[in-house]
Amino acid sequence: MIHVFLLFSLCFSGINYGQVGNNLPPPDKVLDLLTALKLSKARIYDTNPQVLTTFANSNIELIVTVENQMLPVVMDPQQALQWVSTHIKPYFPATKITGIAVGNEIFTDDDTSLLGYLVPAIVSIHGALVQLGLDKYIQVSTPNSLAVLEVSYPPSAGSFKGEVSGVMSQFLQFLSSTGSPFWINAYPYFAYKDSPDKISLDYALFNKNPGMVDPYTKLHYDNMLYAQVDAVVYAMSRLGYGGIEVRVSETGWPSKGDSNEVGATVQNAAVYNRNLLRRQMSNEGTPLRPNMRLEVYLFALFNEDMKPGPTSERNYGLFQPDGTMAYNVGLSALATSSSTSSASISLTSSATKASKVEYQSLVYCMFLYLLTFQGFMRRQH
């Protein structure tokens, strides 16, 4: 049952550690788990001092968040300096804070007033980092919903919604001048759920499928996530910013949903994550940027029982709050093919292009991980 998480630790860029639950393990247990998984990057949705203190002197690189409601405050340079001096400086560098997310999905937030605060807040937070000599170590950006796009298909037609293009241009200018990434929260699950009759489940899940060819660029896409990412790249290029790196700040698939949430099953969640793991293991880029490995943060570490909204919102976790796995993904990240009819695939001699040395390394690490994981579970009880 632990196999996929070894692969996860070897391949994935990071994981989102949400804390909207009343039964989650304390930060020290979470650190034990992340360490056992050999994960080195995580993102949190605040600057929880317990987490920042606990993660000190660990190998975990953290992206922290300025909450949405704080944007009107930190747009003031003095308030931003106060925020950084209080929430970042006391913990750095013992705690490896490498990024600050200023808000989350502001461009598409129901509170449209927040959009006017976004770029001033980002600039002020970055200015505070410069003033404190931390800008060389900590990047500043904001994660965006894919709904920020007016057009996403085909990828080469990607464009931002007209109503946000002015602020978006200012934001992209900041990213370009500071060398910071564009963060996108991309969920093929949502597209499939909304149009299951039009969108191939195999295409959404990275399973073998004919894919699609962009009629303008002739690039072939065999999965939806890469098409979504490239649509963002084209949208930025349309505004004159073609050189900014796109990173996936969130992606995942729910293991449970309401009756109207088509596709939210344990089976599909396992297939999506294991297939994405295989892609990450190959250090793949997208068709538009094949030589630039796509950085991906999986959502999420835990099922969070207090998240509002439909049932799916509380069931994206790889783990239950007690530290047990929400589902078993298996070793299929090493498989060359998968099927939605099975959520468990065994490792066979023909299932991977990995070398014998890579395989032996995996087996050895699995053994070490199993010992560590068992220790973590014992400490939980």
Residues belonging to the active site: 105, 250
Query: What are the phi and psi torsion angles at 237 (to 5°)?
Result: -60, -35
Structure token pair of residue 268: 């599909």
Structure token pair of residue 40: 């080195």
Amino acid in position 65? T
**What distance in Å separates the CA atoms of residue 241 and residue 232, rounded to the nearest whole number?**
11
C-beta of residue 192 within 8 angstroms of C-beta of residue 199: yes
Structure token pair of residue 147: 């709904």
∠ CA 200-202-207, nearest 5°, is: 155
**What distance in Å separates the CA atoms of residue 123 and residue 102, rounded to the nearest whole number?**
10
Structure token pair of residue 189: 């699950």
